Structure formats: structure tokens, C-alpha cells
Amino acid sequence: MPEDRSSEGIPQLPDHGHGHGHDAPPASNSTRLLLTAVLAPFLLAALIGALVLYPFGEHPSPAKPTGFARTPVNGMIVGSESGACTLGGAGNGSAGAGSSGSGSRGDCLRLRIELRDGPAAGETIEQNVPVEPTTPEFEVDDEVVLAYSGTAPRKSTSYQIVDYQRGHWMLLLFGLFAGAVVVLGRWKGVASLLALGVAFAVIAGFVLPAVLAGRSPLQVAVVGAGLIMFFVLYFTHGFSARTSTAVLGTLSSLTLIGLLSSVFAALTQLTGLDDSTSSLVGALGHGIDARGLLLAGIVIGALGVLDDVTVTQTSAVWELHRANPALRWRQLYSAALRIGRDHVASSVNTLVLAYAGTALPLLLTYSLSGRSFVDIVTTQDVAQEVVRTLVGSLGLIAAVPLTTAIAALIVMREKRSDGPAGKAHGTDAAELIAHGARLGAARATFGAGSPPAAGIDHPFRTDPGLELPFTAVPPRSTGGPHTRRSGNAE
């Protein structure tokens, strides 16, 4: 039986995955120097800013005790029964329902709790929890957290139920998340998890202490976001011109978000003093820039979405150029921008729905007030979230054309700077493979002797205005015996 040689002479394209996974070809020395010269001052500024703003030797402590200041003690419910709300030597516990008084029917849930740790570990105490609409449904074997006042460890009145224990289930959920990331992303997934850990370390080890020590929240957030951006992007995606381009696009978009948030927070007279911020100010005992704290949250919150968009756009430009190096700057920019439009549309939708989901109880509360939609949207609590969402969305939208333009400029600069033929450094093999595949597909589809008829789309066309080169190649018979190149019979 004759061999199938229908694909003979047609180069095969390698199997590729998502654009994030490709290793970028090495950049030329001039491109690396240019990107280093642009980004190095920002990295240096972030490092110096961290050293200046970090509260060395300062240990902020609350001037007034807060709800979190009491010592937490773990316990397990070993008995439960309904009864009258009488202390009878038992403590009056609560889990979000208040610490005194009886329920609407004068009933209480009498709980016996075995202490699992703390100064009286192993002891059993009693807690009376008023039965109210907001009271959780406690059951035997529930693991709870109690607040211990610090005195009389064996007295029930020294304890109060404040929450459930959730640590082991949250640990299981995180394990599932980490496993899914590693299975799909492999080593790059491991790198992204490590980068996520560093991001949390920057927030917990630098941003929080600096703000609590009285530093400007916006300045701290800008420096912290810069440190996170540089480390996460380079650690996850490697040191390359492609990653540096994404960093530059992210930096430009973050700057725009910082400016817009500052301007519109001032124009809308947002104070940033919601319930949690007011509690923080009261606990610290000294003034804090509440509006700056709001702006800091906007900057840090936008960073997570921005790096995804900028990396995707940069990868799109590099892959389009690798598939067709003949694309001019405008064609490359337009093709990548079409990809970005779809991405940004879904991302903006995500931002809006994420806020609507988290603020649903607040929106329901306002809807019961009978106030108009405009009145509800312009209240302090809702308006600051609207400004946060819209400013973040504007930065996200701006990131697409900004990053695409920067990436296209870098790619075209590479093309001009290497060799007299204008070949991009390190992409000759990819160009030959892509070119051969296009010619092979054209030969198999249209035959030889004339280019495709007007109005017929080329199967490898990447831009509506781009005419791909056509070469007249003798057609290969697709049926029946054919002559081998060597001239020998089958």
C-alpha cells in the first residue's frame, strides 16, 4: 500500500498553549538596556520608599481595647438545651446577638462547652445565648471560639462565644485551590503561588504596620503595589522583554488609577469614614487619613486585575508577531487591540458584579428605606464603592491600548535592530515554520497558478487589511499513484 505523503514538504507548526506559557525569544542588548533604563528608577524608588516608610522600632498598639483584643479560646459544644435566660452561675454568651437580655420569647439556648485550650483547658463551662432572629443555630459537636477576659479562667462569666472555628475547612479549600493551580500551571503554577505568598507578606509585613504607624496610606499603597508588581510579574513570568513590557503597562495604568481616584475622591467629597474605619480611628487614638486609606484600597485592589490584562496583551502582541513577522506596527496594534476588547469587556463586568455581590446586604438595607436610586447611590458607603469600581474600570480599559502600544513598539524595535534583513532576534525558525505552513495551506486550498479569488478569505489571514504573500507552487496530486522525488517506482 503506498505511503501517505500528502503532507510531505509542508512544515508542521508546533503545538502551542495559551499565550502566557510561551517562552519569549531573547531580546537584543539595546532593547534590554532601554527597558532597564526605564524601569530601574521605579524599582529603586519603590525600594527606597519602603525603607523610608517602614516603622523601624515602632510597635503601634491600640489606645482602647477592641473586640479583637480579648484572648481567643477554642471550645466544643458538648451539650445544648433550651431554657429560661437565667445566669445561674453560667456566663451570658453571644455570637453576634448581644451579650445581655433575653430573646423575644424570653428563652435562651443553654450550652455546655468544653474548653480545648487556654488557661482552663479541659474544663466545661456553661453559656446562655439569647434566642433571637440573628442567633446562630448552635448544635452539639460545633467547634466555637470564645473570647476570654483574662480573669477567673474557670468562671463561665469570663467567656463569651464570638465565632465558629473555620480554620481546618479553610485550609482544605486552600489546598484544593493550590492543587488546581499546580495541576494546570505546573511549575509556573508553583511560581504563582509563591508570588501570591510574597504579595501577602508585603501587605502584612509592610503596608499594615506602616499605615498603623501613621504613614500616608496612599504613599504606602503605591510603594507596596510597586514591590508586589515587580516581584510577582518577574518571578511568575521570568526576566524577559515581554515581562518588562507588561510591568511598564501595569505601572502606567496604576499611575492613571492613582490620579483618577485622587481627583474624584476630592470632587465627590468622599471622607472614607465608614463603620470599620471609624472603629480603627477610635482604637488607634490618633488621626488617620481616612480618604487616603480609601485611595490605598483602590490602588491595591486594581493591581490584581491589571497584571492579568497587561500580561495577556503583551503575550498577544508577541504571538501575533511570531505568527506573522511581516505585520507592520499599525496592523500588529489593531490585531492585538481586538483581542483586548473582548478581555476588558469581561473584566469590567467582573469588577461591577464583584462589588454588587459583596455589597448585597447593604443594597438590600437601603432599598427598604424607600429612598430613590440616586439617593442610595450617592450615600457615602455606596458612593465610595462606585468610585472605586469606576476608577478601577477606567484604569483597566486604559491598560489595553497602553500596553498594546508599548508592546508593539518594543517588538517593532526588535525587528529593526537585528540584522540587515530586519529579522527579529531569535525568531528565524518560528518565521520559517509559520511561513511554510501558510504556503502549504494556500497550495492545498487554492492550487497553483493564481492567487485566491477576490472575496475569499485566506485561512491564515490574521488581519483583514493584510495581503499575505502568494507563491506559485506546482500542485500536488491528491489522488492516485504519483511520482516520487527520486524518480523510483513505489
Grid cell of 73 as nine digits = 479560646
* pLDDT tens-place string over residues 371-381: 888 888 888 88
The residue count of the chain comes to 490
> How does residue 106 score in pLDDT terms, banded at 50, 70 and 90?
low
pLDDT recorded at residue 279: 77
Phi-psi sector, 22: left (phi>0), alpha (psi -120 to 50), beta: beta
Q: Is the pLDDT of residue 241 over 80?
A: yes
In angstroms and rounded to an integer, the radius of gyration of the C-alpha atoms of the chain is 32
Q: Which of 479, 471, 473, 446 is closest to 5 using CA atoms?
A: 479
5: its cell numbers: 505523503
Whether 345 shows a pLDDT value over 50: the answer reads: yes
C-alpha to C-alpha distance for 471 and 455, rounded to whole angstroms: 19
Cα(268)–Cα(252) distance, integer angstroms:
24
The vertex-25 CA angle with 20 and 27, nearest 5°, equals 115
CB atoms within 10 A of CB 297: 16
Task: For residue range 380-412, list pLDDT tens digits in order.
Answer: 888 888 898 899 889 989 999 999 999 999 988
- The span from the first CA to the last CA of the chain, in angstroms, equals 9
Residue 477 pLDDT > 60, yes or no?
no
d(CA 434, CA 126): 75
pLDDT at 87 over 60: no
Amino acid 184: pLDDT: 94
The reported pLDDT for the residue numbered 133 is 83
Residues 265/385, Cβ–Cβ less than 8 Å:
no
Residue 421 has pLDDT above 80, yes or no: no
Name the residue with higher pLDDT: 122 or 85: 122
Q: What is the DSSP string of 273-339?
A: --HHHHHHHHHH-S---HHHHHHHHHHHHHHHHHHHHHHHHHHHHHHHHHH-TT--HHHHHHHHHHH
pLDDT at 244 (0 to 100): 92
To which H or E segment does residue 164 belong? Answer: strand 159-164
Beta-bridge partner residues of 112: 79, 126
| 48 compared with 90, residue with greater pLDDT | 48
CA dist 439 and 451 (Å) reads 11
Could you say which DSSP state residue 204 is in?
I
Domain boundaries, the chain: 19-57+185-417, 71-164
Task: Provide the pLDDT for residue 385.
Answer: 86
Strands 124-130 and 143-148: unpaired
Give the residues across from 108 on adjacent strands.
83, 130
**What is the predicted pLDDT for the residue at 282?**
72
Q: In this predicted model, what pLDDT tens digit does every residue of 28-76 receive, in sequence order?
A: 778 888 898 999 999 999 999 999 999 988 766 665 555 555 789 999 9
pLDDT, tens digit, for every residue of 314-328? 999 999 999 988 889
Mean pLDDT of the 435-449 span: 47
- HSE-up of 324 (CA within 13 Å, CB side)? 21
**What is the per-residue pLDDT for 39?**
93
Amino acid 488: pLDDT: 42
The mean per-residue pLDDT over the stretch 114-131 comes to 90
What is residue 431's predicted lDDT score, i.e. its pLDDT? 47
Rounded to the nearest angstrom, the gap between the alpha carbon of residue 216 and the centroid of all alpha carbons in its chain is 24
The region of weakest confidence among 8-12, 187-191, 290-294, 375-379 is: 8-12
CA dist 446 and 389 (Å) reads 51
Residue given cell 493564481 in the structure block: 450
265 vs 240: CA distance, rounded Å: 37
- pLDDT 10s digits, 171-219: 999 999 999 999 998 998 999 999 999 999 999 999 999 998 889 999 9
Burial class (CB in 10 A: 0-12, 13-18, 19+), 344: buried
Using the predicted structure, report yes or no on whether residue 12 has a pLDDT greater than 70. no
Q: What is the pLDDT of residue 175?
A: 96
- Identify the CA nearest to 357 among candidates 398, 385, 325, 323: 385
% of the chain beyond a pLDDT of 90? 37
pLDDT (0 to 100) of residue 367: 82
pLDDT cut 70: percent of the chain above it: 72
Residue 189: enclosing H or E segment and its boundaries? helix 167-202
Which residues lie closer than 8 Å to 359 by C-beta, 6 or more apart? 382, 385
Predicted TM-score (pTM) of the model is 0.69
pLDDT at residue 111 in the model: 92
On whether the CB atoms of residues 385 and 274 are closer than 8 A, the answer is no
Calculate mean pLDDT across residues 453-471.
43
Pick the more confident residue, 131 or 464.
131
- According to the model, what pLDDT value does residue 249 have? 93
Backbone phi and psi for residue 484, each to the nearest 5 degrees, phi listed first: -75, 160
Residue-by-residue DSSP string for 69-106? SSEEEEEEEEEEEEEE---TT-B---SSS-SSS--TTS
Residue 68 has a pLDDT of 56
The model's pLDDT over 136-178, given as tens digits with 9 standing for 90+, comes to 888 899 999 999 988 888 888 889 999 999 999 999 999 999 9
349: confidence class by pLDDT, cuts 50, 70, 90? confident
